[in-house]
Amino acid sequence: MDVLSEVLKVVKLQGAMFYNGEFSAPWSFRSPASCNVAPFVAAGAEHVIIYHLLTEGHASARLEDGERIGLDAGDIVIFPHGDAHILENGPAAEAVDMVKELARIFSQGLKLSRQGGGGETTKFVCGFMACEPRLSQVFLSGLPPVFKVSIRNDASGRWLENSIRFSVNEADASRAGGEAVLAKLSEVSFVETLRTYIAHLPAEQTGWLAGARDSEVGKTLALMHRNPAQPWTIASLAKEAGVSRSVLAERFRHYLNEPPMAYLTRWRLQLGAQMLGSTSYSVAQIASEVGYESEAAFNRAFKREFETPPARFRTQSRSAHATGSQVRPVRH
């Protein structure tokens, strides 16, 4: 049972690859923040994860005021929170601001783009991942602003890189299903990179990602995410995880700093908030879908968590969607 897979089922990943670059040193470009990129990636996208896969040569990546991270062929560098950043290679050069080029970049698809000063060649593909921002915070909140992973260290990663390179090189809008293949490869790239990152977390690491790796806590999280409406108790979760109630409570608190039932309550309410903003279900239907026996109980819990009742939250969400803004519930 895989908790990451269970969470990814509900965060509605939409992958895309839109830039195929071949730059010669020296070169430098600024990739804008996800709020600038989102309208080009998918209609209604609220958050975009940005990543770059180097397929040849060398480069470095950094946040605008951050330290350089060296990149080699086979490395994927990910900006999970969509921060603006700079990619470059060679002597310091003024960064080209890609915010001015977004319309052109996204209109040309994966047509090869060549730039630079004629030195060492670096080839890379840029990927974008639109996702539901509220629910995806479950795993995104545990990630740093930028991190890299080499996908050439195992057979699955090498297969993935080869598949991306082939698909990018053969990209042709007239080929049936070509865009769908690239979208799925983009999603797989992100998920596999995330799995690798989790697998290499230090043994002493805590947080949701580290908890997902732990056998008992990970199984408990997977159970709750697979069927959040199930009338779980600490006893039934412990039985499924194969440990005592006290051991489960202790391990869960060690990794997530809260009891299992408190976590489950928050997740149910996050699901409810997402459904209020994206469906026409009645509040009573949503309450039942996320595990509440009555609409009144759901209303009370929702207001405690988000400081606004469900009906008002729905109205605010629809208004925000119409104006292109976002509603961010207040959490205690």
- pLDDT at 332 (0 to 100): 44
pLDDT beyond 90 at 90: no
Percent of the chain exceeding pLDDT 70 equals: 94
- Candidates 1.10.150, 1.25.40, 1.10.3470, 1.10.10; correct CATH number of 208-257? 1.10.10
Q: What is the mean predicted confidence (pLDDT) over 138-152?
A: 92
- Candidates 1.10.1040.10, 3.30.70.1230, 2.60.120.280, 2.40.160.10; correct CATH number of 3-199? 2.60.120.280
pLDDT beyond 60 at 22: yes
pLDDT beyond 60 at 166: yes
- pLDDT at 37 (0 to 100): 92
pLDDT in tens, 223-238: 999 999 999 999 999 9
Q: What is the mean predicted confidence (pLDDT) over 19-25?
A: 91
- pLDDT at 157 (0 to 100): 82
In CATH, the number for domain 262-323 is 1.10.10.60
Where does the chain hold its CATH 2.60.120.280 domain(s)? 3-199
Q: What is the mean predicted confidence (pLDDT) over 283-311?
A: 96
Q: What is the mean predicted confidence (pLDDT) over 267-293?
A: 95
pLDDT beyond 80 at 325: no
- pLDDT at 181 (0 to 100): 81
- pLDDT at 91 (0 to 100): 81
pLDDT in tens, 115-131: 888 899 999 999 899 98
Q: What is the mean predicted confidence (pLDDT) over 235-262?
A: 97
Mean pLDDT computed over every residue of the chain: 89
Tokens of 110: 């994966």
pLDDT beyond 60 at 212: yes
Whether this model's pTM surpasses 0.85: yes
Confidence of residue 322 (pLDDT cuts 50, 70, 90): low
Where does the chain hold its CATH 1.10.10.60 domain(s)? 262-323
Q: What is the mean predicted confidence (pLDDT) over 276-285?
A: 94
